[in-house]
Amino acid sequence: MRINGATVLLTGATGGIGRVLARRLADGGASLMVTGRREDTLREVVQETGARSMTADLADRDDVLALADAVGEVDILVANAALPASGDLLEYTTEQIDRALAVNLTAPILLARLLAPRMAEAGRGHLTFVGSMSGKAATPYSSLYTASKFGLRGFAHSLRQDLAAAGVGVSLVQPGFVSEAGMFADTGAEVPRGMRTVSPDQVADAVIHAITADRGEINIAPAKLRWRCAVAGQFPDFASRAQRGVEPPESVRRIVAAQRASR
Ligand SMILES: NC(=O)c1ccc[n+]([C@@H]2O[C@H](COP(=O)([O-])OP(=O)(O)OC[C@H]3O[C@@H](n4cnc5c(N)ncnc54)[C@H](OP(=O)(O)O)[C@@H]3O)[C@@H](O)[C@H]2O)c1
């Protein structure tokens, strides 16, 4: 699917990865609609890219419906918004659980449901979901985030099979730890020992490649993390035994503490 001349809806455009994605999509000739909750940051994105914008709380179903309505005919969806939803599940209120799943999983599903029919009718279009390597392998202190990203992965792959005959592509882009900007970089924490990061530009490259080459899944992470996640995803008991009794590293505590305010 060509980006030049396509109408693109980008969620999470006010975030670390979203801002880079917005610039790249606009530079690629997209007619862009950007969304997020923070009006001031959204205004900056509009100034940088010339995009149309609408504030929406993706935890609120009415806002999701209004967004899909306002954007009109969309050729490409990039569902990038998410909450970090890190930490111990036992500390979460039911409202916080609802919000994490609504933003990370229900909103992308609803937007796909609302936008795909016109794409299928036109015989062209693309749905892109930004997941995470947490959608491939479970790690401690991230059960909610992991649930949402495992769910998004299964959804994207199944929907890809359903929509292929209609000419609508579906892609999943799963970054590892991202440096410079975004929900991990904002914590100021070090990456856990032995891990390396990717940049927001590399994630944006992967999203653009997923759309233009119609790729089902791109894992954008250093080889070591991709390999570890592949093994842990295949052998979850082995992975969980390897973690048992191991104190969470300081970096994980810092990440969880810094992200607590955004539950
Ligand atoms: N950064 C990483 O290391 C990393 C690694 C793997 C995967 N990812 C994935 O990459 C994507 C982008 O993450 P990021 O690092 O750019 O995160 P970020 O900087 O925290 O940005 C998150 C974005 O989601 C939006 N958002 C959150 N709650 C929302 C709500 N209730 N309604 C509407 N928008 C909402 C935020 O907008 P407002 O604040 O304006 O509402 C913001 O634009 C996410 O799907 C994330 O899971 C990130």
Closest CA to 173 of 250, 108, 88: 108
- Ligand 1 nearest atom to the CA of residue 14, by list position: 43
What is the pLDDT confidence band of residue 195, given thresholds at 50, 70 and 90?
confident
Ligand 1 site residues, Cβ closer than 6 angstroms: 12-18, 36-38, 41, 56-59, 80-83, 103, 130, 132, 175, 177-178, 182-184
From the CA of 216, how far away is ligand 1's center (Å)?
A: 21
How far, in Å, from the CA of 82 to the mean position of ligand 1?
4
pTM of the prediction? 0.97
d(CA 229, CA 68): 34
What confidence score (pLDDT) does residue 241 get?
A: 85
Q: Say which of 22, 32, 71, 145 is annotated catalytic.
A: 145
Residue with tokens 């390897």: 242
Q: Which amino acid is it at 25?
A: L
Q: Is the pLDDT of residue 246 over 80?
A: no
Closest CA to ligand 1's atom 14: 182
> Residue 256: what pLDDT?
93
Would you state the pLDDT for residue 251?
84
Q: What is the CATH number of domain 7-262?
A: 3.40.50.720
Establish whether 141 is a catalytic residue.
no
Span from the CA of 56 to the centroid of ligand 1 (angstroms): 13
Give the residue, out of 33, 37, 197, 205, with the most ligand 1 atoms within 8 A of its beta carbon, to mutate for a pocket test.
Answer: 37
What confidence score (pLDDT) does residue 207 get?
A: 98
Q: Of the residues 9, 11, 14, which should be mutated to test ligand 1's pocket, given the most ligand atoms within 8 Å of the CB?
A: 14
The pLDDT value recorded for residue 194 is: 79
- Choice among 79-88, 184-193, 201-210 with the minimum mean pLDDT: 184-193
Q: What is the pLDDT of residues 145-194, one digit of tens each?
A: 999 999 999 999 999 999 999 999 999 999 999 999 999 999 999 888 77
* Residue ranges of domains in the chain: 7-262
Ranges of beta strands (E only) in 120-208 are 125-130, 168-175
- Residue 185 tokens read as 């970089």
Question: With 90 as the cut, is the pLDDT of residue 208 above it?
Answer: yes
User: In angstroms, how far is CA 252 from the centroid of its own chain?
Assistant: 20
What are the C-alpha distances in Å from 183 to residues 24, 86, 137, 151, 174?
Answer: 20, 11, 19, 20, 14
pLDDT at 250: 82
| 206 has a pLDDT exceeding 90 | yes
Range with the poorest average pLDDT among 58-67, 103-112, 249-258: 249-258
Best-predicted range by mean pLDDT (68-82, 185-199, 225-239, 249-263)? 68-82
Measured distance CA(14)–CA(80) in Å, rounded: 10
